[in-house]
Amino acid sequence: MPTYDYACEKCGHRFEEFQSITAKPLRKCPECGKMALKRLIGAGAGIIFKSSGFYQTDYRSDSYKNAATKDNGGAKKTGKTDSKAGSTSTEAKPKATSTEKKKSA
């Protein structure tokens, strides 16, 4: 429930009121008793994020995730490609030792 600011046009009294969004604005001033209250337009409260972060894909629907999987051909990206033409794997291949070099020569 939001907090609304009110100001009386007759006596100038200003105050805040914690009300439901669906509640009607107050009309009677609690200070002077006149029907001259106006609800003021405020900036509102900002959103405060208190965790490490939020990502665009955190709350994707299941239908979106299923469609994305179909677009990728049903495969997950791993960053490694093994093929006869070449490999983009980042794993290092072991070097031949000096005894292996002598055997092949």
How does pLDDT run across 39-88, given as a tens digit for each residue?
A: 998 766 666 666 666 666 666 778 877 888 888 776 555 555 444 554 45
Q: What is the pLDDT of residue 74?
A: 61
Neighbours of 14 (CB within 10 A): 11
What average pLDDT does the chain have? 75
Band of pLDDT at residue 13, cut at 50, 70 and 90 = very high
* CA–CA separation, 47 and 51 (whole Å): 12
Is the pLDDT confidence value at 6 over 70? yes
**Where are the alpha helices (H) located in the chain, listed in sequence order?**
62-71, 98-104
CB 8 within 8 A of CB 28: no
- Taking Cα atoms as reference points, which of 39, 37, 47, 46 lies closest to residue 21? 39
pTM of the model: 0.42
Domain map (residue ranges) of the chain? 3-39
